[in-house]
Amino acid sequence: MLIDVIKNSLRNIFRVRNQRAIIPAGPKPAFGSTIVLKRLKMQLIVPIDYEQWDWLTEKGWRTLDMRQNRRRYFRVQRKAVTRLLHANQDDREALHQQIVEYRYDKKRLH
């Protein structure tokens, strides 16, 4: 843990950190895939249609190859994912805003 703190300090001092550009939206992910938005990670436990995927990509959600990704993310609760994906278009905006603005506990960082 101390080594990580030292590495992060050196990266900040030498300005090694670069702002990452948002990757282009890919094809609609399959059932069970994981999508990310900044520090949030959501597993698609419900099949989605193309309209839902287009809406999620407009909000910034992207699929990533999680096998090669070493970043740590907050996992969105399954109940919240289910509510979001089953919501109608009117309620979807409010639910998404709640998910993004929720204060996740650092202990839940995976």
Average pLDDT of span 30-48:
89
Give the residue, 80 or 109, on which the prediction is more confident. Answer: 80
Give the pLDDT of residue 12: 81
pLDDT band at 83 (very low <50, low <70, confident <90, very high): very high
Query: E-assigned strands of 1-110?
Result: 34-37, 40-43, 62-63, 74-75
pLDDT (0 to 100) of residue 110? 66
pLDDT band for 57, please (50, 70, 90 cuts).
Answer: very high
- Binning pLDDT at 50, 70 and 90, where does residue 108 land? low
Mean pLDDT, the chain, integer: 84
Quote the DSSP letter at residue 74.
Answer: E
